[in-house]
Amino acid sequence: MKAANIKGKTVAVASAEDDEVIEAVAEAVRRDLAQFMLFGQKDEIEQLLIKKGLSKENVQIIQARSKEQAAELAVKAVHQNEASVLMKGHVSTAILLKAVLNKDYGLRTGRVLSHVAVFDIPNYSKLILVTDAAMNIEPDLQQKEQIIVNAVGVARGIGISFPKIAAIAAVEVVNPSMKATLDAAALTMMNKRGQIQGCQIDGPLALDNAVSLLAAKQKGITSEVAGDADILFVPTIEVGNVLYKSLIYFANAKVGAVIAGAKAPIVLTSRSDSSESKLYSLALALCSSEK
């Protein structure tokens, strides 16, 4: 795990009194991935640490009287460079993002916040990234550009220095009636003209043409991206969400995900995510924090 080679990082966890979160924290400490600042109900957190057999050697517990205060204190810790990664615990996404977007102590950068997931799919030759499956509902062209820039940063964090990006649509030709194809073509041209750098974009590409060289050849598509994409860039949240969950539930893929575009990576996992998935997301965030 590449994150194991990154030393000296601290993770701020907002409302850490959650069994799956503490399980992920315990495993991360055992692997010497990072140190942790755990904000929330101190007694509950301590009991969970005892349950998981974890000492307080690499863990600092900070009492918070409410979930709102836990989110505020965790975000402030990152804002003040006391921590390099923000992680969601037993707190709603709305409460955490409210603190993240606070004008005084938040983690704003002026960029769009976007969700980037990395999948390890059985019987597939390499890791593949999907964006944006959780944050931006129907981004415009400018927002799509920023989402791509965020994803490129995450890709570099895990060692993909010049990622190949497939702009996904239902078809691989430009159709004026399908906005996804128009934006995909525009993003491809913006990349060719140097407006979007550090990657190679091709689109529109249907999913099969993005991940299967055979499918691309059968359609007569010749490009360095077709059949070998590193990043699947989806046009709307519905497409991304269905693809994300299909890979997990139908393909048994392992996944880690972060929110990129803020001052620091944010681990914004769901309550339904396993401790294993939370650990992968934490490792991804630590790798992303290096970039």
Average pLDDT per consecutive 10 residues, the chain (291 residues; last block may be shorter): 69 94 91 94 94 86 97 97 95 95 94 97 96 96 98 96 98 96 98 97 97 94 95 98 96 95 92 82 90 60
Q: How far apart are CA 75 and CA 2, in angstroms?
A: 25
Q: How far apart are CA 279 and CA 184, in angstroms?
A: 33
Q: How far apart are CA 130 and CA 121, in angstroms?
A: 12
Question: Angle 288-291-128 (CA atoms, 0-180°, nearest 5)?
Answer: 45
Pair 154, 166: CB distance under 8 Å: no
What's the token pair of residue 184?
């995909």
pLDDT digits (tens, 9 = 90+) for 90-120: 999 999 999 999 999 999 999 999 999 999 9
Beta-bridge partner residues of 228: none
Helix axes 19-30 and 275-289, enclosed angle (nearest 10): 60
pLDDT of residue 129: 98
Which of 166, 147, 161, 129 has its CA nearest to residue 284? 129
What's the token pair of residue 159?
């060692």
